[in-house]
Amino acid sequence: MDLLSYLIVPFAAGLILTGIHAYLGVHVVERGVIFVDLSLAQIAALGTTVAYLAGHDLHSTTGYFWSLGFTFAGAALFALTRVHHETRIPQEAVIGIVYAVSAAAAILAMSKAPEGTEHLKDMLVGNILTVSWAEVIRTAVLYAIVGAFHYAFRKTFLAISVDPHAAEAAGINVKWWDFLFYTSFGLVVTSSVAIAGVLLVFSYLIVPSVAAMLFTRSIGKRLAVGWTMGALVSAIGILLSFQLDLPTGATIVCTFGAALALMATYRVLSGRAMIVE
Amino acid sequence: MKLKLALTALVFLTLTTNAHAAKLKVVTTTADLASIAQEIAGDRASISSIARGYQDPHSVETKPSFLLQLRQTDLLVVVGLELEAGWLPPLLDQSRNQKIRPGTSGYLDVSQGVEILDRPTGTVNRSMGDVHAMGNPHYWLDPANAVRIAIQIQQRLGQLDPSNAAVYSSRLGNFKQRLNEANKRWTAQLAPYRGAKVVTYHNSWASFAKRYGINVVGYVEPKPGVPPSPSHTFQLIKLMKEQRVKAVLVEPYFDLKTPQSVASRTGARVLVLFPSVGATPAVGDYIKLFDRNVSELVKVLR
């Protein structure tokens, strides 16, 4: 059936997103910085808007480097503000503030550099339905590089995410590695948001990781559960969207919600201690 | 026996789907173009539109059915002038239908043969707002342009489907005649209000206003595509008082708060005017759309 050929590209995109985000999600949940991806995506969008104001085209290389520059600045900020011992300001507060201010700053910039409304929406509302093979392949290559980098230094990245104090004591420069983490994370999120939109990327990041925590504590098993769930939900969501003719991204997000609810219900009803070490 | 029955059913099914496929499939981006295409094609081609009449044609949420619709299309008719620039290109790419690529005979941009207003002279820069660098894309709201659109569709249909060319051409004649008569009626209804001053939300009504001598003196948007700002709204109120503006015309997909607050401070009335066929079920075709808009406009200008 040639309907299949229309499903296959969004599905491939869904698999790639699952691959990197279910992994990064484990870190994000461990660190308790749930909304960091929204915040970094918004900073990247602000960077593009500023580039646009300065007269660079939205899809130009210069525009891309502006957004990358802003993302790196955001990464540095998050690396520096991890936990403040004296004031006990939670990092999630900083993340929220950065989100609100950069979203508002983008609105201000837009009101001066219009056509803006549509284009800025473009940046944050990627559309997984109309993604092309070229984009999928480009994204896959980028994520493979980021993935390899994380795999090579997996022990360090895990150490700073799970127990920064122990890592510090073991002689790891936590601020520097935090910066590397947020930089690679920002790189991924910015590309993901452009092809799938903020809502969907957030779901790929957080839901598989949370769903896995219902059943297991081991990082390896959490990854396995997360990847399986992400792949299944992508397939079901895309099929539903075609079957019922609904906007594809939003359908996948709701499928994630339904799947998580089902898994949680199963966990409660089955009653036994399900946590697998 | 059962197998034979099933096979017969299958053959029958294939035959009927083939007979169906023989009919030209026309897809338009907006409901207005679909309505005009329907007038020309009658039952000789199947016509459907992507955007619904109640949606802002600048931004349309894409759904899987759009891809499937475009996949089997023989002729795609677009408004052009970058109106659909935000959502059509990726859909066209992913539909993988070579027949309707821009530049082929299956792609018809009707802005090529109509009167376009507000074509910017000199360079367009971003400080001017969401200006369509190629001119105002809301040109279909002038019956003279509707005729020009109809002629282009008739010619292209005749070219793609010569066996029905005579039908298309006679239906064009019929549509022109009915539209002409209706236009005389609309002109007469609006004649007493020639020169009446109105404010519109977005610059959607330039062609309509020019046709019927309505004077658009300002916009609720400070620049096209930019939401109302306090200082602009303040100046607009001042301007409307000075010029004794009677009506604020708003497209159905914009927020009514600012128009209502502006109107309440100036004694003007807010009217939701429909820029597209199908904005409500009552305005199901191009002529009904104008019937409704003209009679509502007369009520607020009186």
Residues A48-102 have pLDDT tens digits of 888 888 877 766 788 888 888 999 999 999 998 886 667 788 888 999 999 999 9
Residues of chain B neighbouring A5 (CB-CB closer than 8 A) = 96
**Subunit contact B129:A115, Cβ cutoff 8 A:** yes
Nearest CA among B148, B104, B133, B114 for reference residue B224: B133
pLDDT band for position B207 (50/70/90)?
A: very high
Mutate which: B50, B126, B229, B232, vs A, most A CBs within 10 A: B126
Q: What pLDDT is stored for residue B118 in this prediction?
A: 78
Residues of chain A neighbouring B71 (CB-CB closer than 8 A) = 6
How distant, in Å, are the alpha carbons of A52, A113, B127, B128, B133 from that of B124? 14, 12, 8, 7, 6
Q: What pLDDT is stored for residue B222 in this prediction?
A: 86
First to last CA, chain A: 44
| pLDDT tens digits for range A132-177 | 899 999 999 999 999 999 999 999 999 999 988 899 899 999 999 9
| pLDDT tens digits for range A44-60 | 888 888 888 887 776 67
Most confident of A260-274, B71-85, B221-235: B71-85
No. of helices (H) and no. of strands (E), chain B: 10, 8
**ipTM beyond 0.90?**
no
Shortest distance, CA A148 to any CA of chain B (angstroms): 31
SS3 B248: strand
Mutate which: A7, A59, A117, vs B, most B CBs within 10 A: A117
Q: Which residue of B has its CA nearest to A123?
A: B86
pLDDT score of B19 more than 50: no
Partner residue facing A114 (CB), from B91, B94, B129: B129
Q: What pLDDT is stored for residue B11 in this prediction?
A: 47
Query: At B229, phi and psi to the nearest 5?
Result: -110, 160
**Subunit contact A132:B63, Cβ cutoff 8 A:** no
**Subunit contact A116:B225, Cβ cutoff 8 A:** yes
Q: Which residues contact B9 (CB under 8 A, 6 or more apart)?
A: none
Q: What pLDDT is stored for residue B125 in this prediction?
A: 52
Global confidence as pTM: 0.81
Percent of chain A with pLDDT over 90: 57
Q: Which residues contact A120 (CB under 8 A, 6 or more apart)?
A: A45, A48, A49, A106, A110
**Subunit contact B58:A118, Cβ cutoff 8 A:** yes
Shortest distance, CA B170 to any CA of chain A (angstroms): 37
- Chain B residue set in contact with A, beta carbons under 8 Å: 58-59, 61-65, 67-68, 71, 86, 90-91, 93-94, 96, 126-131, 223-227, 229
pLDDT score of B13 more than 50: no
Q: What pLDDT is stored for residue B131 in this prediction?
A: 53
**Subunit contact A115:B58, Cβ cutoff 8 A:** no
Q: Which residue of A has its CA nearest to B82?
A: A115
Residues of chain A neighbouring B128 (CB-CB closer than 8 A) = 114
Distance of CA B292 to the CA centre of its chain: 15
Name the DSSP letter for residue B27: E
CA separation for the pair A196, A126 (Å, rounded): 4
pLDDT score of B17 more than 50: no
pLDDT score of B121 more than 90: no
**Subunit contact B63:A118, Cβ cutoff 8 A:** no
CA separation for the pair B130, B133 (Å, rounded): 9
Listed in sequence order, the DSSP H helices in chain B are: 2-21, 31-41, 64-71, 88-95, 143-160, 165-190, 206-212, 230-243, 257-266, 286-301
Shortest distance, CA B208 to any CA of chain A (angstroms): 24
pLDDT score of A275 more than 80: no
**Rounded mean pLDDT, A208-212:** 95
pLDDT score of B5 more than 60: no
Name the DSSP letter for residue B74: S
Average pLDDT, chain A: 88
Shortest distance, CA A256 to any CA of chain B (angstroms): 19
Q: Within a 13 Å sphere around the CA of A37, how many CA atoms are in the beta-carbon half?
A: 27
